[in-house]
Amino acid sequence: MVNTEALFRVGDAAEEAGNYTLARQSFERGAALGDAECLFRLAYMFDIGSGVETDKAMAMRLYQRAWRRGSTTAGMNIAILYRERQASRAMFQWWRRVADTGDGSAQLEMAKCYLGGTGVKQDPQAALRCLAVAVRSTFISEEEREEAERLLGTLRPRQV
């Protein structure tokens, strides 16, 4: 039986070393066995054109497969691909799906959508709720947490 974790490590090391052929082969093999992380990394290679020709449609298909296998990060990248296509409604729906897994970064992105009325009706109260969840989340970068805190500061009622 092939160990998909080993395939992922080989692919990761190969990509880091600039051996994109070996990286792709390793990720493809792991993806064929249904490994979510191999699917995600293969999708990312096609998304950014890392050692392969950029193919956003292929990236989307692979990200969707990775999402179905449990990769939350794949869901984030699906939302980003929809943003690149200017498909705001689909983008927002994907942010919501990812946020439902407890991801604070997705909560921040949803808040921005609510504030700007992007893909959803403008709703400062919903944005406030998303930001409150984002700043308490453990699944958010420090930079994103600071951004959420800044946005919260602009939305909270000013005390006189």
What count of Cα atoms within 13 Å lies in the side-chain half-sphere of residue 87?
A: 11
Element (H, E) at 85: none
pLDDT of residue 79: 98
Q: Is the pLDDT of residue 64 over 80?
A: yes
What would you report as the CA-atom Rg of the chain, rounded to the nearest whole angstrom? 18
Q: Is the pLDDT of residue 157 over 90?
A: no
pLDDT of residue 10: 96
Nearest to 73 by CA among 32, 35, 108, 103: 103
Q: Is the pLDDT of residue 159 over 80?
A: no
List the domain boundaries for the chain: 1-85, 95-160
pLDDT of residue 155: 86
Which positions ≥6 away from 129 have C-beta within 8 Å? none
C-alpha 59/C-alpha 78 separation (Å) is 9
- pLDDT tens, 111-133? 999 999 999 999 999 999 999 99
Contact between residue 113 and residue 119 where contact means Cβ atoms under 8 Å apart? yes
Runs of H (alpha helix) within 2-140: 4-16, 20-32, 36-48, 56-68, 72-84, 88-99, 104-116, 124-136
- pLDDT tens, 82-110? 999 999 999 999 999 999 999 999 999 99
Distance of CA 139 to the CA centre of its chain: 12
- pLDDT tens, 15-63? 999 999 999 999 999 999 999 999 999 999 999 999 999 999 999 999 9
Q: Is the pLDDT of residue 160 over 50?
A: no
CATH architecture under which domain 1-85 falls: Alpha Horseshoe (1.25)
The pLDDT of 3-11, averaged and rounded, is: 94
pLDDT of residue 1: 56
Q: What rounded mean pLDDT belongs to the chain?
A: 95
Q: Is the pLDDT of residue 145 over 70?
A: yes
* 31 residue type, one letter: A
Q: Count CB neighbours of 149 within 10 A.
A: 12
